[in-house]
Amino acid sequence: MRNVLLFTLFLLTMTVSAQVIENPGSVNPLKTGEQMPGVSVKDLNNNEVLISEIIADGPAVFLFYRGGWCPYCTKHLSDIASVEDKIKEMGYKIIAISPDSPGKLKETLEKSTLSYKLYSDSNGTLIKGMGIAFNAPEGYEKLLSDHSDGINKGVLPVPSLYVVATDGSVKYRFLSPDYKLRISSKILLEELGKLQ
């Protein structure tokens, strides 16, 4: 009976945290010490990959971005890529996730010099579980639908950065409801240094 109650509470917690909020300033993101959701995302070949598989061989820096169509996002992806070697030396890999479809992720890679992995969360399962999903402003529906192969009808992630251990626990996070404000590569390296 106790196990059933605990499982019910777990499902209720996941349901509550998986809501889509009306605006980016009201999201309730995962906090340091909490567990990343055990869901899957899609790789460039449209294969489902569990988050636990992505982090099984080492901790990761997860970048959640709005899409390859967003100039602030592509600039931030490039800024973090500029220190990728240093991040790897510290024992981390970089993983970037957006609502873009696998095909659109390939286009982003072709336009940039990124060597780290990009994953698709077009259905929003991960960003909802992370507590960073919100309803996009009016006028974004067609853009998001086009970039997600018709799957995403209007949900965006608050651009965020999470450092996650191999057990799925959050060790550090940075996010801002202002999509123009991102953590710099310099500050990221400083924060990763504190975690060593």
User: What are the residue ranges spanned by the domains of the chain?
Assistant: 2-195
pLDDT tens per residue, range 89-109: 999 999 999 999 999 999 999
The mean-pLDDT minimum among 6-15, 74-83, 143-152, 170-179 falls in 6-15
Phi, psi of 134 (to 5 degrees): -145, 160
* Gap between the Cα atoms of 120 and 123, Å rounded: 9
- For 45-54, the CB contacts below 8 A with 24+ separation are 45/102, 46/102, 49/119, 51/126, 51/168, 52/168, 54/95, 54/117, 54/119
* Gap between the Cα atoms of 161 and 77, Å rounded: 11
* Gap between the Cα atoms of 184 and 30, Å rounded: 21
For the full predicted model, state whether its pTM sits above 0.85.
yes
pLDDT for res 18: 58
Amino acid making up residue 179: Y
Whether the pLDDT of residue 174 is over 60: the answer is yes
pLDDT for res 16: 38
Angle at 39 between CA 156 and CA 45, to 5 degrees: 80
pLDDT for res 113: 82
Report how far apart, in Å, the C-alpha atoms of 99 and of each of 35, 36, 82, 180 are.
21, 17, 23, 18
Amino acid making up residue 191: E
Mean pLDDT of 172-178: 96
Q: At what angle do helices 71-81 and 185-195 cross, to 10 degrees?
A: 50
Distance of CA 126 to the CA centre of its chain: 7
pLDDT tens per residue, range 130-163: 999 999 999 999 999 999 999 998 999 999 999 9
pLDDT for res 20: 86
Residue 167 and residue 36 in contact, taking contact as beta carbons nearer than 8 Å: no
Question: What CATH superfamily classification does 2-195 receive?
Answer: Glutaredoxin (3.40.30.10)
pLDDT for res 56: 96
- Token digits for 105? 């992720």
Whether the pLDDT of residue 3 is over 50: the answer is no
pLDDT tens per residue, range 11-61: 334 433 457 888 888 899 999 999 999 999 999 999 999 999 999 999 999
Provide the mean pLDDT of the chain. Answer: 91
